[in-house]
Structure 1
Amino acid sequence: MRASTLLNSLFHLPGVRVGKAAVVDGELQVTVSLRRRRLCCPQCSFTTRHRYDTREVDSSWRHLDMGGRVCRIVLRRRRLRCCEHGVLAEAVPFARPDSRHTRDFEDLVAWLVTKADKTTVSTFARIAWRTVGAICERVAAEVLDPDRLCGLVDIGVDEISWRKHHRLT
């Protein structure tokens, strides 16, 4: 099996080709390239074949840890001119817009928050607890239906207790 095929199956990132992987400063850095030729706006559905330019620096996203090492996905992104949003770096299929983490990493963190508190999750994932909150907001905004409470008319409350032994004074 070729090394590139092995790396592609190991990381399983949609829409990318894995180039090389190397340990840099104790972190596993995986260089990837996009398979698609069309550039997509991260804010809307606009696509184009014409690029504005290529960024001078690489973009990186935190991915799931590999072998106890922090893993970063590295990509040199192109920029496009969207008629509505102006000049932006292209969207990538493996990460949400304005995120520094891959979807897999964010989904793991969001799931862990349902099982443990933010401090425990931040220690386990090796990120700041404020980042845990930001990840939860991004995942909830994508997953939850914004119109889920539109037909709500009444809210029923079964019991309220604010003092010991439920005494009213």
Structure 2
Amino acid sequence: MLGVDKTVVEDVDLDLVAGVFVASVRLTRSMRNRCGSCQKRCPRYDEGAGRRRWRGLDFGSTRVFLEADAPRVSCREHGVIVAAVPWARHQAGHTHHFDSQVAWLATQTSKAAVTVLMRIA
């Protein structure tokens, strides 16, 4: 349902009052410590800014977020950079599936319809 590969779901939190579903996830061993730009394995640099959230596709009227640690790695080519995650592009605040849905809607409907349906600005 979350549309994530090479990922382990550790915990889920459903807040019905706020209408938010948060899945706490972590990467599998094969995906850890990869450069966010080139995807090459790199030595870990530090813990980064802590945990981050990425917006996923809604479950009906409930907003969905993936939450995971975002350590930094030291890449020979790109320097110190946030490690890659398989569910989102580097420096994106939303998942691949969310991005694809918004892109398709943008080609089929008006901008106003996309912003209301996806709850984005």
Asked if these proteins are the same fold (TM beyond 0.5), I'd say yes
Q: Please say if 1:53 is aligned against 2:46.
A: yes
Task: For 1:18, give the aligned amino acid.
Answer: V
| Equivalent residue, structure 2, for 1:11 | 2
Map 1:14-163 → 2, pairs under 5 A: 14-24=5-15, 25-37=18-30, 38-48=32-42, 50-128=43-121
Note the alpha carbon deviations across 1:30-67, whole angstroms, 9 max, x for none. Answer: 1000003441111224322x211213421110000014
Greater CA radius of gyration, 1 or 2?
1
More strand by share: 2
The Cα RMSD (Å) is 1.5
Q: Is the 8 A contact 2:102 2:114 kept in 1?
A: yes
> Partners in 1 of 2:38 and 2:10 — Cα distance?
28
> Partners in 2 of 1:70 and 1:58 — Cα distance?
18
Task: Give me the TM-score of the superposition, normalised by structure 1.
Answer: 0.65
Structure with larger RCO (C-alpha < 8 A, sep 6+): 2
What secondary structure is seen at the aligned counterpart in 2 of 1:19? strand
- Displacement after TM superposition at 1:72 (Å): 0.5
Q: Is the 8 A contact 2:19 2:61 kept in 1?
A: no
What secondary structure is seen at the aligned counterpart in 2 of 1:108? helix
Task: Give me the TM-score of the superposition, normalised by structure 2.
Answer: 0.88
Gaps of at least 5 residues in structure 1 are 1-9, 129-169
Moved more, 66-75 or 16-25: 16-25
Task: For 1:58, give the aligned amino acid.
Answer: R
What secondary structure is seen at the aligned counterpart in 2 of 1:14? coil
Note the alpha carbon deviations across 1:87-142, whole angstroms, 9 max, x for none. Answer: 111011110111100000000110111110111101100000xxxxxxxxxxxxxx
> Partners in 2 of 1:75 and 1:45 — Cα distance?
18
Q: Is the 8 A contact 2:50 2:71 kept in 1?
A: no
> Partners in 2 of 1:12 and 1:103 — Cα distance?
9
What secondary structure is seen at the aligned counterpart in 2 of 1:106? helix
> Partners in 2 of 1:31 and 1:45 — Cα distance?
22
How many percent of aligned residue pairs carry the same amino acid? 34
> Partners in 2 of 1:29 and 1:11 — Cα distance?
10
> Partners in 1 of 2:3 and 2:25 — Cα distance?
12
